[in-house]
Structure 1
Amino acid sequence: MPTDKPKVLFMSGPEYAKDVWNEFIQDFTVLLWEEQSREDFIRDLSSKYDGIQAIYRAANPKYPHYKLGSFDREIVSAFPSSMKIFVNGAVGYNDVAVDVLSEKGILFCNTASGSDNATADTALWLILSTYKNTWQSEQSVRAGVWRDRTNVVGRDPAGDTVGILGLGNIGKAIAVRCKAIGMKVQYHNRNRIDAAEEEKYGVTYKTFDELLSSSDTIVVAVPLTSDTKHILNAESFKKVKRGVIIVNISRGGCVDESALVDAIKAGKVSKVGLDVFEEEPKIHPDLLSNEKHALLPHIGGATVNTFYNFEAIGMQNIKMWLKEGKAKTPINLSAIQKQ
């Protein structure tokens, strides 16, 4: 006897992975979220959306559901008892109450690996831009000024040491690119990777303080958690090599922006390459006014390839968990297994 297909709520319809979507809808009853207020959405979770087993949320500010705000304790607590998996279509998840999902026995997945190449490419661009002073040169050209290149002379990154904070998928992709332009690569992780992987990526492990004091460039590639918030702060900047370059492609909250500005004024930090900011879209005025810095509006993973991957990985997670009890990129699996 045929059974009802599991119900899945998509906060926005797929825009990129249409081929994966066409297969997905054969196995699931898909509901598409209709724009509404946060209060109405919370109400509908116990009525209109009662019985859903999964939610996919594309973490892209262009979609109307972003107006709902964070999927915090208030929203997650309202999830119906039928819920089994929540997928956030992004790598970062600092605006999701993962602890509440775990309390409710709901698997949480991000879409890790989907933006590895795009974000690593952005990190490399920020490194090269700060080394070669491309930003101030471009500004001059656009202003109609053919600047004497001696005024913006840069330096080669080859031979310099880059320290990567967080050697996950994105960190490893950054390491590959930095090795390709001749940089020496070292890293710090909460857990050191095994020797075979260190050899594969040509990286050297350092303690946190060792990395700070010996890196010419520091790239922040850790997820934002309570442990990594302000991982670079006033105390950290006291330990860095004078003239270090700071690159952040993770989350703005990983760097204390006020302390960063103070370190720039003190000459400890020479330049920054930032794709993320602590209170984005607000940016510290001292960063905006200094044309030596390379600043981007959080576009590190913004490619059609990334968005395809996010959608595809999201649907794969839902399908695997509801049909096989497995997932491709689980975050809180161990927490819900303890229940």
Structure 2
Amino acid sequence: MHKVVICDNISEAGIDILRNEPDIEVEIKSDVDKKELPKQLEDADAIITRSSTTIDKEFLSYCKNLKVIGRAGVGVDNIDLEEASKKGIVVLNMPTGNTLAATEHTMTFILNCLRFMPNANYELKYKHIWDRKKWMGIELYGKTVGIIGMGRIGTRVAIRVMSFGANVIVYDPYIPKEKATKIGAKIVDDLDELIRNADIITIHTPKTNETYNMIDKEEIEKMKDGVILINCARGGLYNEKALYEGLKSRKIRALGIDVFENEPQPNHPLLEFDNVIATPHLGANTYESQVRVGEGIAKSVIDALKGRGYENAVNIKMEEEEITELGKQFLGLAERMGSFLSQYVKSFIRKITVYAHGEIESCTNSLGLFTTVGILKNMVDEHVNYVNAPYLAKERGLEIETKIYDKATEFKNYLLISAEYDDDKTLEIGGTVFEPNKARIVYMDGFDMEIELTGNIIVFRNHDKPGIIGKVGEILGRHNINIADFRLGRKKETGEALSFIKVDQDVSEAILKEIWNIDGAISISKVRL
């Protein structure tokens, strides 16, 4: 018999599934004081929570028999994943249950920003003013909707706005292009193209270093006059100060916003504008989504308790004794190399091949897994881990292959990762561990060099001629950007050079553009690890 305790309210449909399952005993403790709750969970095999229960180290110290934590929702910020993993407790979430609710919430914002129905409703009902001319709207039909992020929600929004007769432009460098084109959308390689051409822009990306303040003052200035902006995804994807200035100047016709960088926000400056339609993070708030989440987490908890599967697990307890100390360092290097690849390529990676040489050949499959985790962390709006990474990779069309490296190499142990992306491009990076805690990249795309993959890194490729690196240093110095480390590789046969420039601060897109404009520049990217 497995005992499952409900710590926060979930739908009755989910509770019924648990109660109808043989060998499952259910206790409801959602009304118990949160300070007293852990003391009543000593014999619980599984608990189901939402965001109002904080499961920290102290909480878990009372749970002597706990095997599974089910989070009825997406976010797991209230759960100490590291401590749960140490105790061998599997943490599950329910990432897909809110998809339709968030999609429809986005559509609601789009239509209301076109017609200002909340404003007209308020004026008629509470001020008793009948003024048709004041609330002249515009139609969705024939407009161009720009969708940033073509995941589960972005795809569904695209289908729905096209049913209204709108055109759709998509920007998402991490998906295969056919995912957009097969539904009739146009996919662009450059965010600027979407920004300049869209009448309405809605964003559906994860919040990462790359996407934080993705839409800032510079991007808003490039938009059409009277653009409509929507954010039902994550606070901080739009720079809120830039939104304020765009509304004040009337560059932005209307803003629909459900999420803020810091919440709750009952007195946010954006709320002073009549053309801002805001809700208090209601994207998932529908009865149907709560039923789906409740049913889904109940089934996942049952499967985990009975050993039938862990598809929605967000952590894993590594069996440390199975991997040597050297292997662990290479696993960390593999994950960082994967993260580097996805940030540098900024395109749909369709296949990765992970090659291992030396003692680390025994953990080749694990190296492939850790590389996949590193790649996906910058691509998906979910908590990526060593359990769900293969599922997420398959869902996004990412093929993973592992092989033994059988070519001659000067390194006793060597890790090479080959990434195939776009239609016909390939990028290889190689790394090794020289001594304990000295993991380095030693090869990239034909260039030999050595650098640690940590911090803020500018990757600059240029024609190998005098004066270029000096100009890079001058630009960074002028902007008070301190260079912490500089490594250079050269290919004499092509006359090219590749620089890894580690800096103490994040570098803005405007500074990168200055460097890109240097005569002789071939490419430039920034990576944060």
TM-score of the pair, normalised by structure 1: 0.79
Mapping of residues 107-146 of structure 1, within 5 Å: 107-142=90-125, 143-146=127-130
Deviations 1:145-195 (A, max 9, x none): 001x23222211122222223322222221121111112223333621452
1:50 matched to 2:42? The reply is yes
Give the 5 Å matches for 1:104-183: 105-142=88-125, 143-147=127-131, 149-183=132-166
- Report the residue type matching 1:29 in the other structure: E
Which residue of structure 2 lines up, in the alignment, with residue 23 of structure 1? 20
SS in 1 for 2:150: coil
Whole-angstrom distance in 2 between the partners of 1:140 and 1:307: 33
* Structure 2 residue 244 is the aligned partner of structure 1 residue 261: yes
Q: Distance in 2 between matches of 1:176 and 1:99?
A: 39
What aligned pairs does 1:182-193 form with structure 2 within 5 A after superposition? 182-189=165-172, 191-193=174-176
Quote the residue 2:180 is aligned against: 198
| Change over 3 Å in CA distance of 1:306–1:256 after alignment to 2 | same
Q: Give the conservation status (yes or no) of the 8 Å contact 1:8–1:52.
A: yes
Seen in structure 2, the aligned counterparts of structure 1 residues 287 and 199 have a Cα distance that, compared at 3 Å, is same
Q: Tell me how far apart the structure 2 counterparts of residues 166 and 253 of structure 1 sit (CA, whole Å).
A: 15
Instruction: Report if aligned partners of 1:249, 1:276 keep a CA contact under 8 Å in 2.
Output: yes
How many residues are paired up? 318
1:299 aligns with one of 282, 292, 295:
282
Q: Deviation at 1:10?
A: 1.6
Cα pair 2:9 2:30 within 8 Å, conserved: no
User: Residue deviations 1:71-129, cap 9 Å, x none?
Assistant: 5x556764747544332212344554556555655443322221222221111111011
Aligned to 1:62: none
Runs of 4+ that moved beyond 6 A: none
Q: Give the gaps of 5 or more residues in structure 2.
A: 317-368, 370-384, 389-529
Contact 1:76 1:100 (C-alpha < 8 Å) held by counterparts: no
Distance 2:192 2:48 in 1: 39
Give SS of 2:201's match.
strand
Output the CA distance in 1 between the equivalents of 2:227 and 2:240.
16
Matched AA of 1:280: E
Question: Bigger CA drift: 32-41 or 309-318?
Answer: 32-41
Change (3 A) 1:166 1:212: same
Indicate the residue corresponding to 1:327 in structure 2: 310
Tell me if the contact between 1:6 and 1:53 (Cα under 8 Å) persists in the aligned partners: yes
Q: Do the aligned partners of 1:133 and 1:154 also contact (CA within 8 Å) in 2?
A: yes
Aligned pair in 2 of structure 1 residues 153, 126: CA closer, same or farther (>3 Å)? same
Q: TM-score, normalised by structure 2?
A: 0.53
Give the Cα–Cα distance (whole angstroms) in 1 for the partners of residues 160 and 205 of structure 2. Answer: 17
Structure 2 partner of 1:213: 196
**Counterpart amino acid of 1:145?**
I
Deviations 1:202-252 (A, max 9, x none): 333334443333322121223445554433344543444433211111233
CA distance in 2, matches of 1:15, 1:294: 29
Counterparts of 1:210 and 1:96, CA distance in 2: 40
Change in CA separation of 1:34 and 1:184 when aligned onto 2, cut-off 3 Å: closer
Structure richer in strand, relative to its length: 2
Could you tell me which residue of structure 2 aligns to residue 63 of structure 1? none
Identity, % of aligned positions: 24
Q: Check 1:23–1:294 CA distance in 2 against 1; reply closer, same or farther (3 A cut).
A: same
Give the Cα–Cα distance (whole angstroms) in 1 for the partners of residues 284 and 148 of structure 2: 18
Task: Give the stretch that moved more between structures: 274-283 or 130-139.
Answer: 274-283
User: Quick check: 1:135–1:291 contact (8 Å CA) kept in 2?
Assistant: no
**2:455 is matched with which residue?**
none
1:18-47 deviation line (CA, Å, top 9, x unaligned): 5423324x33233433545555445x3xxx
- What SS is found at the alignment partner of 2:195? helix
RMSD after superposition: 3.1
Q: 1:286 to 1:34 in 2, by over 3 A?
A: closer
Q: Which amino acid aligns with 1:56?
A: I
The aligned counterpart of 1:87 is 70
| Counterpart code for 1:144 | H
Map of 2:262 onto structure 1: 279
- In 1: Cα distance, 2:209 partner to 2:235 partner: 13
Change (3 A) 1:244 1:316: same
Using CA pairs below 8 Å that are at least 6 residues apart, which structure has the higher relative contact order? 1
Equivalent residue number for residue 32 of structure 1: 28
Q: From the superposition, tell whether residues 19 and 53 of structure 1 become closer, same or farther in structure 2 (CA, over 3 Å).
A: closer
